[in-house]
Amino acid sequence: MNLISVTDIKHKISSVGLKATSQRIAIYQAVMKLKNHPTVEMILEEISPLHPSISVGTLYKNLETLVEVSLLEKVKSEEGNYRFEANLDKHNHIYCSNTKEIIDYQDDELDLILFEYFKKKKLKNLKINDIRLQISAERLNINKEISIQ
């Protein structure tokens, strides 16, 4: 996900009817900037140098609010805590079992295959909103980039 400017963030926040406070901007920036779908603790660490008085309660509340208005999303994980992301583009997640990372994987061709596959399916009592992959994997070398081409 590409980082966006403070002005754009302000606009995103205002346009959903929220006040574009400095904390909300900082939270959104932190989630964008942190690479590994951060936990609350990670976000707090990232923010507290510039906002040392930020309250944990307010951080939780702001994260919840930003998720409710669909500016952020919660990421599914088996860890037993919350994780967040700012990338709202459709993408899949690679869960690295050895490094505990959650890595984005975007693949338009695959998205199309899945879309066409489920278009032919008869759904009973169910409305599908989104289909993504959960890819379980191991990172082979901690220092090298991962790719799927």
Structure tokens at 57: 């309660």
Task: With beta carbons less than 8 A apart as the criterion, state whether 105 and 119 touch.
Answer: no
Q: Is 16 in the site for a second copy (CB under 8 A)?
A: no
First to last CA, the chain: 18
Task: With beta carbons less than 8 A apart as the criterion, state whether 86 and 31 touch.
Answer: yes
Q: Is 108 in the site for a second copy (CB under 8 A)?
A: no
Which among a second copy, DNA, none contacts residue 123 (Cβ within 5 to 8 A by kind)? a second copy
CA distance 113 to 54: 45
Minimum Å gap between C-beta 142 and DNA is: 22
Q: Is 14 in the site for DNA (CB under 7 A)?
A: yes
Q: Is 133 in the site for a second copy (CB under 8 A)?
A: yes
How many residues bind to a second copy according to rule CB under 8 A?
Answer: 45
Print the binding letters for residues 60-79 with a second copy: x by CB under 8 A, - otherwise.
Answer: --------------xxxxx-
Closer Cβ to a second copy, 4 or 40, answer by number: 40
The separation between CA 89 and the C-alpha centre of its own chain, rounded to angstroms, equals 10
CA distance 129 to 70: 14
| Residues in contact with a second copy by the rule CB under 8 A | 74-78, 80-83, 93-95, 97, 110, 113-114, 117-118, 121-141, 144-149
